[in-house]
Structures are given as C-alpha cells and as structure tokens.
C-alpha cells in the first residue's frame, strides 16, 4: 500500500510538472511611467522568450491578436535539434499578431541552418546592438536590442547611437544580467529579458535562478520572464511557462506586486 501510494504520488507530481511546462499563460501587465506622456495612446507589447523546442499555441495567440502593437522575441527561439520548419512556423504565427522583433539568445546559433536568412525571409526584424525607432502619439519610441551578454556581444552604447534623446526607450536583451551595465544617462525605461526560465525547477521556492517577475532599478522597470519553453528536461515546477502582454501607460511607477492585472490561460 505504501509503495503504491508513493508511485501514485510520483505520477501525480510528474503530471503536474509536465503541465506547468506546457501551459500557455498570457500574463496581462500594465506598467505606468511618469515620463510616458499622458497624451500618448497606450503602447502594448506581446513579449515571449525562450521558446526552445515548443510550438507556439495558436489558441494562446488568439487572446492577444488585435491587442499588441508589436511582438518581441527575447531570444532562444531555437536550440540544437530544433528544425527550421518549426522556427518558421512559430515566427509566422507570431507575425499574425503584430510586427516581430528578435534579439539573440545564447542557444540560437546552435542550429545547423542560417537563422539570419530565415528571419530575413520571414520578415522578422533582428535587433543586435541597434534600435528601431518609430512615432507613437507624435513622439519617438525606441526598441533597443542588444546581443547576448554571456557571449560578450552586448553593446548598449552602439545600439543607442541613432536613438533620439527625447524618445521613450525599451531595451530587449536575452539575459537580465544586462541590467548591471545600465547607466542613468542612457534613460532606459523598461528592460525585457528571459534566459533564466525562472529556475525552471524550484523546490520550496528555491531554484538556480530567481523566479520571473517585475523589479525596479531606479526609474527602470525590469521584467524577466520565466519563458515559454524548457531546456534539458521538458518539465517545470514553481516557475510555469508564461508570456506577457505588456501595456505601457502614463502615471506613477507601477508597484512590483501590482503589475499583473489579470492572467489568461489556454491549454
């Protein structure tokens, strides 16, 4: 009886951690900034990172379709063994939501095909130490993408070379370690990152990395995602797979514990 109970408990736990790894959470985040002009319309970003071997759920994307101004892939779209056809299918699905922007992760160059060519053919905008600037409400917004920190390819100053000084600045970098390199005069309002998987497997709230979430460093909001896929084993515990629909509005800085307005889940 005891052994049977232990086996049953193990199978239940295994099913649970498999489910956490394959869930499709869209975390709806509202971030307010005092220097985001109140005459601007809200700016909404769908952020997904660390897809790795997963297929992005079409049902999940239905929840964000028509709501996002742009899609940002925060690196590790692929890894060794991920076929080109899967990468193409994922970016095509994401492109149906909004224009897609990509920053490189530490696993993306493990594939045995030319990922850069795939991006060009699929009309994905790759930001490696450069920025995309556009008008939003009559004022420039800059999405700044930098290379991977662990490969010593990140160069924020180079990425900022042609960014207007009065722009609202969003920095996308695969690894949240980029935060240590920020300087006040760079005026970065928001950092989007992944890489850590939130520890992926956490025991009693303890993991190899911090669980994803929002933190403030001075006037900069740093949003680190648990990521959508997994690495090593297709399992998660205490750090479920997630994506983010981020809406930026004017106002007082959003408290760290109040940024999530609601959460949608599609299985």
DSSP string, 42-54: PEEEEEE---TTP
In a 10 Å sphere around its CB, with 0-12 CB exposed, 13-18 middle and 19+ buried, how is residue 29 labelled? Answer: buried
User: What confidence score (pLDDT) does residue 29 get?
Assistant: 95
Residues 59-66: what's their mean pLDDT? Answer: 96
Q: Which of 115, 104, 108 is nearest to 175 (CA)?
A: 104
Residues in contact with 198: Cβ distance below 8 Å, sequence separation at least 6, in sequence order = 207, 209, 210, 211, 212, 224, 225, 226, 227, 238, 239
Per-residue model confidence as pLDDT tens digits over 208-218: 889 999 999 99
Distance from C-alpha of 23 to C-alpha of 18, rounded to nearest angstrom: 9
266 occurs within a structural domain: no
Range of the domain at 223: 1-261
Token code pair at residue 38: 């109140």
Q: What pLDDT was estimated at residue 206? A: 81
Q: How many domains does the chain have?
A: 1
Per residue in 132-183, pLDDT (tens digit) is 999 988 889 999 999 999 889 999 999 999 999 999 999 999 999 999 999 9
**Closest to 45 measured CA to CA, from 62, 23, 29, 22:** 29
Average per-residue pLDDT for the chain:
91
Instruction: List Cβ neighbours of 213 (8 Å cut-off, separation of 6 or more).
Output: 223, 224, 256
Q: Which CATH number covers residue 105?
A: 3.60.21.10
pLDDT digits (tens, 9 = 90+) for 64-104: 999 999 999 999 999 999 999 999 999 999 999 999 999 99
The answer to whether residue 259 scores a pLDDT higher than 90 is: no
Q: Are strands 70-73 and 100-102 parallel, antiparallel or unpaired?
A: parallel
With a pLDDT cut of 90, the percent of the chain lying above it is: 75
pLDDT digit string, tens, across residues 187-241 = 999 999 999 999 998 888 888 889 999 999 999 999 999 999 999 889 899 899 9
Instruction: Tell me if 267 is assigned to some domain.
Output: no
């Amino acid at each position: 009886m005891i052994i049977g109970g232990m086996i049953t408990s193990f199978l239940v736990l295994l099913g649970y951690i498999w489910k956490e790894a394959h869930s499709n959470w869209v975390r709806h985040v509202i971030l307010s900034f005092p220097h985001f002009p109140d005459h601007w319309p809200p700016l909404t970003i769908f952020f997904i990172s660390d897809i790795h071997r997963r297929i992005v759920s079409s049902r999940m994307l239905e929840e964000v379709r028509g709501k996002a101004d742009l899609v940002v892939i925060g690196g590790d779209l692929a890894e060794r063994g991920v076929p080109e056809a899967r990468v193409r299918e994922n970016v095509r699905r994401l492109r149906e939501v909004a224009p897609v922007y990509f920053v490189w992760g530490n696993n993306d160059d493990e594939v045995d095909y030319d990922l850069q060519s795939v991006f060009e053919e699929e009309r994905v905008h790759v930001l490696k130490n450069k920025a995309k600037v556009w008008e939003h409400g009559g004022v420039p917004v800059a999405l700044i993408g930098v290379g991977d920190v662990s490969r010593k390819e990140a160069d924020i100053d180079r990425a900022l070379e042609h960014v207007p000084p009065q722009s609202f600045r969003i920095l996308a970098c695969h690894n949240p370690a980029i935060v240590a390199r920020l300087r006040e005069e760079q005026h970065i309002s928001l950092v989007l990152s992944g890489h850590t998987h939130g520890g992926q497997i956490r025991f009693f709230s303890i993991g190899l990395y911090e669980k994803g979430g929002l933190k403030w460093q001075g006037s900069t909001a740093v949003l680190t995602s648990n990521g959508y896929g997994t690495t090593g084993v297709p399992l998660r515990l205490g750090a479920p797979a997630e994506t983010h629909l981020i809406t930026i509005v004017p106002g007082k800085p959003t408290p760290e514990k109040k940024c999530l307005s609601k959460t949608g889940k599609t299985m």
